[in-house]
A and B are shown apart, each in its own frame.
Chain A
Amino acid sequence: MPSVITANRLVDGIVVYLSENDNWLTDLTAARVAEDEAGLEKLNAIAGQAAADHIIVGPYPMAVDLDKGIPEPKSVRERIRAAHRPTITAVTEAR
């Protein structure tokens, strides 16, 4: 199952994804996708190091859909995280 690695950034807690060149970006579509176990293991090792290097907190693999050619979350929870906002109109936004 294609997967990416997600975490929260240490300094501000914002949701990030492991991207090219070991960067952690907020944009899921830029995430590196592991197609198999071996690929995921490699990404996990990078993530473990990033956690040890106090860049990110709590990394974990997350299954994605690639039907549209870009990684998309499978679960509601991960859709909400990837959107970086709640699904409702916030109280500060026009209703």
Chain B
Amino acid sequence: MYRYDEFDRDFLSDRNREFRGQVERRLAGQLTEDEFKPLRLMNGLYLQLHAYMLRVAIPYGVLSTRQLRQLGMIARRWDKGFGHWTTRQNIQFNWVKLVDVPDILEALAEVDMHAIQTSGNCIRNVTADPFAGAAADEIEDPRIWAEILRQWSTNHPEFTFLPRKFKIAITGALEDRAAIAFHDIGIRIVGGPNGTFGFRIYVGGGQGRTPYVAQEIKDFLPPDQLLSYLEAMLRIYNLHGRRDNIYKARIKILVNAIGIDAYRTQVEEEWERIRGEEIDLPADEAARIRAHFAPPQLQPMPVGHAAFSKARAQDSGFDRWVRHNVLPHKNPDYAIVSIAFKEPGRPPGDATAEEMERVADAADRYSGGEVRVTYTQNLILPNVARADLADLYEDLKATGLVAGNTGLITDIIACPGLDYCNLANARSLPIAQDITERFAEPEKAEAIGELRLNISGCINACGHHHSGHIGILGVDKKGTEHYQITLGGSPGDDAAIGDIVGPSFPAEEVPDAIEKIVDTYLAQRRDEEGFLATYARVGADPFKEALYGTSR
């Protein structure tokens, strides 16, 4: 993985010194809240319902075990012993004190981490396929390009005060596991002629109050031209994006207002103009960054098939975990393992300090010391020998992190909601808990099959409800929390925005409503048909009938 050089470290230490001074001046009353707020937000520090919240960037979701242990230390020392994996591969600490933040940032800098650009109208932390470098279906490792984008976008003077925040996601695999269609810019690495590759660029996707699936702007961009093209895209947005209305300020609004063709024409004109300006990375620098992501030297580790089959036959929990949480690696002796932070009753994505440390131990023992965070709020061990799976499972069992439910209905994405967030209209976490408990029986969840259920506590859609096969949106209805349900959304290659199925439900009726939707799906599906295929074939009517009866 990428390691900071002296330039990176000096920059971060200067920045932390600067913010320490700003915090001291705020505490001494030399800065008002109006003056201080933009400064703290530039350093990832929000003021939420109960306390300050620090959102720490995890670049493209990649963590070393040293970093993960430091996050655990921070949770224990300066928070209430836990953190929350976010829906953008970051981590949030929900209970930090302003007075402690400069020390926390210093502790982060010790392990090459920070909270810069996790807030504000800038290019946010770039997200990527959490299986990068390991996925069996990978064309090119997206971390190399995510790191190049990180360096390009960090403190980019022209793009520090955009009309609104800006999110980029990149995948290098055949299957999109980074939800690129729901980003301001989505980048898909595609194969080119003679074993080359390039970038297919999408623009104008996003969730929030006006959801859009991103549209293709460039079919094939050679790798050495990525930065100049993105620079042109950002510049046109910066020039024409609306600053008069926060709800119309994202690039998706601009692209859909003027149309993708008009936007493309302007970008291409600008690109032609600036291509010669040495914005693009020199080949030797790209090679230097690539070297940080050299594939690990994985020793041949053939699994003993008889012993493995026996272990699976003897332990149904292990067998289920292998079915759902063990995913194909590019090396057939190895696997990608999903560590689920989603057992029934757990607030999705919350992780204790001890769990962080135990996962770090497991990653050191079984996965070359590398961990990934997924936007679905789980952790990934990217390089586990299949021969070690049974031992890893036993180790994880001791920490309680062996829910074999990755991709199932209980693998819920949920934002912190009204239990923590200042923007929320309704709670997400209790709804997630109720639903996971309703489907707690592993056989029941497994019989339903793959199902993405996402919950947001407000229209800002941090819980990705628009892209859930089943989406739940919390709304305030005359002072009580109600939940609107959408069906048919998808974050992947068939990206789609869910349709609102009908009137909202009060909290206590949500688990029943979800069960009715699931029962309708199970009654209607043919053979192994997934939820989306059934929904596309039968339409919303059977679900409406189940939820509201014929009278509605």
Contacts and interface: CB of A to CB of B under 8 A. Distances in A.
Contacts of B80: 90, 92
B481 A13 contact: no
A53 B29 CA distance: 7
Contacts of B99: 11-12
A75 B424 CA distance: 13
A14 interface: yes
A95 B52 contact: no
18 contacts: A8-B47, A11-B99, A12-B51, A14-B51, A52-B32, A54-B29, A76-B481, A80-B419, A85-B50, A86-B347, A88-B419, A88-B433, A90-B80, A90-B82, A90-B347, A90-B350, A92-B81, A92-B82
A12 B52 contact: yes
A10 B50 contact: no
B98 A10 contact: yes
B50 A95 contact: no
Given A10-B27, A13-B97, A76-B427, A91 B346 contact: yes
Contact of A91 (B347, B426, B427): B347
Contact of B52 (A13, A88, A89, A91): A13
Interface string A39-82: 00000000000011110011000000000000000111100110
Given A58-B33, A90-B347, 6 more contacts: A11-B27, A52-B32, A57-B33, A77-B49, A77-B418, A88-B433
A22 to B, nearest CB: 17
A87 interface: yes
Contacts of B96: 13
Contact of B82 (A54, A87, A91): A91
Nearest to A74: B479
Given A12-B99, A54-B29, A91 B51 contact: no
B43 to A, nearest CB: 15
Nearest to B422: A77
Contacts of A92: 80-82, 352
B393 to A, nearest CB: 21
Interface in A1-60: 8, 10-15, 51-54, 57-58
B101 to A, nearest CB: 10
A13 B352 contact: no
Contacts of A51: 33
B530 interface: no
A54 B76 CA distance: 28
B429 interface: yes
B313 to A, nearest CB: 30
Chain B CB within 10 A, most for which of A75, A87, A89, A90: A90
Contacts of A14: 50-51
Given A88-B429, A89-B345, A54 B26 contact: yes
B51 A87 contact: no
A76 B52 contact: no
A86 B419 contact: yes
A21 B47 CA distance: 26
Interface string B432-445: 01000000000000
A95 to B, nearest CB: 5
B223 interface: no
Nearest to B425: A77
B28 interface: yes
A76 B480 CA distance: 8
A85 B51 CA distance: 10
Contacts of B52: 12-13
A81 B33 CA distance: 21
Contacts of B418: 76-77, 80
A79 to B, nearest CB: 10
A87 B80 CA distance: 15
B347 A15 contact: no
A16 B511 CA distance: 35
Contact of A95 (B33, B346, B420, B429): B346
Contacts of B346: 91, 95
A77 B418 CA distance: 7
Contact of A54 (B27, B49, B352, B429): B27
B53 to A, nearest CB: 8
A60 to B, nearest CB: 12
A53 to B, nearest CB: 7
Nearest to B51: A13
B419 A54 contact: no
A6 to B, nearest CB: 11
B430 A87 contact: yes
A91 B29 contact: no
A93 B351 CA distance: 12
A55 to B, nearest CB: 9
A58 B36 CA distance: 13
Nearest to B94: A86
B427 A87 contact: yes
A88 B49 contact: no
B438 to A, nearest CB: 15
B508 to A, nearest CB: 14
Contact of A88 (B33, B47, B347): B347
B50 A15 contact: yes
Interface string B18-29: 000000001111
A13 B97 CA distance: 6
Contacts of A8: 47, 51
Interface string B54-90: 0000000000000000000000000011100000000
A10 B33 CA distance: 9
Contact of B50 (A54, A57, A81, A89): A81
Q: 6 tightest CB-CB pairs across the interface, nearest first? A: A86-B419, A12-B97, A54-B29, A13-B51, A91-B350, A13-B52
A91 B351 CA distance: 7
A86 B490 CA distance: 30
